[in-house]
Amino acid sequence: MFQFEQSIRLKTLPEQFFASLVAKVNDIQAQGHDVINLGQGNPDQPTPEHIVKSLQMAAEKPTNHKYSPFKGYQYLKDAASAYYRREFGVELDANEEVAILFGGKAGLVELPLCLLNPGDTVLVPDPGYPDYLSGTALALVKSEFMPLLEENDFLPDYNFLDSDVVQRAKMMFLNYPNNPTGASATNEFFEKTVSFAKKHSVCVVHDFAYGAIGFDGIKPISFLQTEGAKDIGIEVYTLSKTYNMAGWRVGFAVGNKSVIQAIELLQDHLYVSLFPAIQEAAATALLDSQDCVSELVATYENRRNIFINGLRSIGWEVSAPKASFFAWLKVPVGFTSETFADYLLNEAHVAVAAGNGFGTYGEGYVRVGLLTSEERLAEAIQRIESLHLF
Ligand SMILES: Cc1ncc(COP(=O)(O)O)c(C=O)c1O
């Protein structure tokens, strides 16, 4: 059989980071061990019942069995705009400032293709969500990394970026609440971002995947709440985390009209929009009672408290995440991210993600997803304690 060669774009794609973690976990499980898997970011709770019901009813309507309008239904764009007004006090023109996405990842991967040319430069957070690099690879653009350091609360310091890189940069990815560090943005940081981006004509792409998950009564802030943000950027929102809808593949981008137009143009050529019944259920999620969201945030906050307090009680000095559902933990002296993650998996059958998989500046940390029950988290602590590391 003829062996077709993959395109340069595909050959440039980075290795899928989680593939090796999944293989290691499968290996330990195949040996008959019970693994507590805290390595991935897949929400463990079901989608709230009223959203599932909405899908069931919508799926029965023959009108929903047809092609959707290419740009998605206007009622879903209206719902996204109502959501932003209600949750963040942000006004959006639902006709021109909202694009419907097949989940946040699709939008994030599409954006470099929408706005950049081969050889252009993008600023990417390090550590950061690995899929930003999938989009930059497909668009054949160059990624330059912005270190996220603990002493700066994991916010990039624009003053320390190389001036040549800044001159070349055309786009920047940001993500707060942050995966993997659990850090939050401040108003002041977003104000600095707007003025930096305007000064250097950089399009800001703020990934707001964890926008609903803030702890200690502090609600995460939207980039679009910052004055002038819409002039220079967009925000990508997903229903995956807020409503436990990761498998449904629905999200939206909001903000700068020219960027929204570019996304819709690319999507007109790549797809017809989402299954209409999913669009109806997504509108239900955004517009109906938000009690399910408060309950979910309380669940993650309780898990965070149990886990962080538990680790501190066994002598591991760790910081508590302020938002998201991740804890970002410094590894004990004598280990690297990878040797420690392997050690926990092999000796305690607890899987965590090695921090270096998220970038060079992730070295020295591991990421824990708070995506299992309080009982399992407590058991993970007992298993770690039995290693007598601290
Ligand atoms: C930081 C971040 N951005 C975006 C996504 C993509 O989410 P989705 O494609 O399900 O909307 C994720 C998912 O894990 C994430 O962690």
Whether residue 204 is predicted with pLDDT greater than 80 in this model: the reply is yes
Across 171-182, average pLDDT = 98
pLDDT 10s digits, 129-150? 999 999 999 999 999 999 999 9
- Distance from residue 148's CA to the centre of ligand 1 (Å): 19
Residues flanking ligand 1, CB < 6 Å = 41, 103-105, 129, 175, 179, 207, 209, 238, 240, 246, 251
For residue 168, the model assigns a pLDDT of: 97
Whether residue 335 is predicted with pLDDT greater than 90 in this model: the reply is yes
Across 148-164, average pLDDT = 97
pLDDT 10s digits, 76-121? 999 999 999 999 999 999 999 999 999 999 999 999 999 999 999 9
pLDDT 10s digits, 228-266? 999 999 999 999 999 999 999 999 999 999 999 999 999
**How far apart are alpha carbons 342 and 366 in whole angstroms?**
11
Across 187-195, average pLDDT = 98
pLDDT 10s digits, 294-312? 999 999 999 999 999 999 9
- Distance from residue 85's CA to the centre of ligand 1 (Å): 22
- Distance from residue 131's CA to the centre of ligand 1 (Å): 9
pLDDT 10s digits, 11-27? 999 988 778 899 999 99
- Distance from residue 178's CA to the centre of ligand 1 (Å): 11
pLDDT 10s digits, 52-74? 999 999 999 999 999 999 999 99
What 3 state SS string does the chain have?
A: CCCCCCCHHHHHCCCCHHHHHHHHHHHHHHCCCCCEECCCCCCCCCCCHHHHHHHHHHHCCHHHHCCCCCCCCHHHHHHHHHHHHHHHCCCCCCCCCEEEECHHHHHHHHHHHHHCCCCCEEEEEECCCCCHHHHHHHCCCEEEEEECCHHHCCCCCHHHCCHHHHHHEEEEEEECCCCCCCCCCCHHHHHHHHHHHHHHCCEEEEECCCCCCECCCCCCCCHHHCCCHHHHEEEEEEHHHHCCCCCCCCEEEEECHHHHHHHHHHHHHHCCCCCHHHHHHHHHHHHCCCHHHHHHHHHHHHHHHHHHHHHHHCCCCCCCCCECCEEEEECCCCCCHHHHHHHHHHHHCEECEEHHHHCHHHCCEEEEECCCCHHHHHHHHHHHHCCCCC
- Distance from residue 388's CA to the centre of ligand 1 (Å): 35
Across 183-204, average pLDDT = 98
For residue 19, the model assigns a pLDDT of: 83
Q: Which amino acid is at 318?
A: V
- Distance from residue 61's CA to the centre of ligand 1 (Å): 30
Q: What dihedral do alpha carbons 45, 296, 204, 160 form, nearest 10°? A: -100
For residue 18, the model assigns a pLDDT of: 78
- Distance from residue 386's CA to the centre of ligand 1 (Å): 34
**How far apart are alpha carbons 285 and 242 in whole angstroms?**
9
Per the prediction, the chain carries an average pLDDT of 97
Q: Which atom of ligand 1 is nearest to the CA of 104?
A: 11
* Residue in 129, 133, 210 to alter for ligand 1 test, most ligand atoms within 8 A of Cβ: 129
* Residue in 207, 244, 254, 300 to alter for ligand 1 test, most ligand atoms within 8 A of Cβ: 207
**How far apart are alpha carbons 87 and 45 in whole angstroms?**
23
Q: State the sign of the Cα–Cα–Cα–Cα dihedral 164, 166, 172, 175.
A: positive
**How far apart are alpha carbons 114 and 109 in whole angstroms?**
9
Q: Which atom of ligand 1 is nearest to the CA of 239?
A: 11
**How far apart are alpha carbons 110 and 259 in whole angstroms?**
11
Across 347-368, average pLDDT = 97
Which structure tokens are listed for 95?
A: 């006709």
Whether residue 202 is predicted with pLDDT greater than 90 in this model: the reply is yes
Q: Which atom of ligand 1 is nearest to the CA of 175?
A: 1
Whether residue 349 is predicted with pLDDT greater than 80 in this model: the reply is yes
For residue 17, the model assigns a pLDDT of: 74
